[in-house]
């Protein structure tokens, strides 16, 4: 049996304890399953995990087809190219990595009208890293407005991957800045409810700063090879 069965429950307990301490009603766990085979995802689902995050659209589509019987919730969490918007609109429940307005009409037109709106998080490049996707904090308000205007998209909040600062105190500062951006955005869009931040190495810090969703890969499935 895979490592997942023994890691999922302790991970959940850690998340729930940190959420209680932070006073957050619920912190959702997204299993970041890039590079993991469909069989591993199936085992994780059997252990009770419902939501999975994938970075590469083609890899995700193949696994989704194999796992269609499970009715899982799929999150696109990797950088999105415009030629993959239609696939995301058809095959995912959430897009966590929207970073530019150009993609909004492509997603809107491709989302099948019989489906619920695609849940969208705007990815923010909080530490202004050249290597990282995400919109600049000052571009957030306009991009959020464009998403909110689309009936095929549901604006749910923001997502970010802070720089891997070695010092926990500096990382915590990035998480706190994200929390502040989230609260500001909520003034204009009161229905947003999701602040997706924190991965294997720092999900406890992120929850302490107000994360409502964490995306965890290696702490759940083992190191990626
Ligand atoms: C891979 C990935 C994760 C999970 O990373 P781990 O360090 O393995 O927990 C989370 N978010 C995104 C966007 C990722 O690409």
**CB contact set of 124 (below 8 Å; sequence gap of 6+):** 134, 135, 136, 137, 140, 158, 159, 160, 178, 181
Cα 19 to ligand 1 centre (Å)? 20
The closest alpha carbon to 7, from 64, 49, 62, 53, belongs to 49
Token representation of residue 143: 């991009």
Rg of the chain over CA atoms, in angstroms?
17
The pLDDT-based confidence of 3 (bands split at 50, 70, 90) is: low
Going by CA atoms, what residue is nearest to atom 10 of ligand 1? 215
Cα 97 to ligand 1 centre (Å)? 12
Whether the pLDDT of residue 4 is over 90: the answer is no
Cα 109 to ligand 1 centre (Å)? 29
Q: What is the pLDDT of residues 139-149, one digit of tens each?
A: 999 999 999 99
Q: Which of 77, 96, 131 to mutate to test the pocket of ligand 1 (most atoms within 8 A of CB)?
A: 77
Arithmetic mean of pLDDT over the chain? 96
Tell me the CA distances in angstroms from 191 to 113, 115, 179, 194, one per residue in order.
Answer: 22, 20, 16, 10
Q: Does 77 contact ligand 1 (Cβ within 6 A)?
A: yes
Cα 126 to ligand 1 centre (Å)? 16
The closest alpha carbon to 194, from 202, 183, 205, belongs to 183
Q: Does 218 contact ligand 1 (Cβ within 6 A)?
A: yes
On whether the CB atoms of residues 215 and 77 are closer than 8 A, the answer is yes
Q: Does 199 contact ligand 1 (Cβ within 6 A)?
A: yes
Q: What is the pLDDT of residues 9-62, one digit of tens each?
A: 999 999 999 999 999 999 999 999 999 999 999 999 999 999 999 999 999 999
Q: Does 80 contact ligand 1 (Cβ within 6 A)?
A: no
In ligand 1, the atom with minimum distance to the C-alpha of 30 is 10
| Helices 140-148 + 168-188 axis angle, to 10 | 50
| DSSP letter string, 159-201 | E------SSHHHHHHHHHHHHHHHHHHHHH-TT--EEE---TT
Whether the pLDDT of residue 200 is over 70: the answer is yes
The closest alpha carbon to 32, from 76, 66, 71, belongs to 76
In ligand 1, the atom with minimum distance to the C-alpha of 220 is 9
The pLDDT-based confidence of 137 (bands split at 50, 70, 90) is: very high
């Amino acid at each position: 049996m895979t490592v997942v069965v023994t890691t999922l429950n302790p991970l959940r307990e850690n998340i729930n304890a940190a959420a209680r301490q932070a006073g957050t009603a619920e912190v959702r766990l997204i299993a970041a399953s890039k590079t993991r085979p469909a069989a591993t995802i199936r085992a994780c689902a059997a252990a009770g995990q419902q939501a999975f995050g994938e970075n590469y659209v083609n890899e995700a589509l193949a696994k989704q087809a194999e796992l269609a019987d499970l009715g899982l919730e799929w999150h696109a969490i990797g950088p999105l190219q415009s030629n993959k918007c239609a696939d995301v609109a058809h095959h995912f429940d959430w897009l966590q990595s929207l970073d530019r307005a150009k993609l909004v009409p492509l997603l809107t037109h491709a989302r099948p009208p019989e489906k619920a709106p695609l849940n969208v998080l705007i990815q923010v490049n909080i530490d202004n890293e050249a290597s990282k996707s995400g919109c600049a904090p000052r571009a957030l308000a306009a991009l959020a407005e464009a998403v909110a205007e689309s009936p095929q998209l549901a604006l749910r909040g923001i997502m970010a991957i802070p720089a891997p600062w070695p010092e926990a105190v500096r990382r915590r500062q990035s998480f706190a800045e994200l929390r502040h951006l989230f609260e500001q955005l909520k003034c204009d869009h009161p229905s947003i409810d999701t602040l997706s931040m924190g991965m294997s190495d720092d999900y406890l810090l992120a929850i302490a700063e107000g994360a409502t969703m964490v995306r965890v890969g290696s702490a759940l499935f083992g190191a990626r090879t």
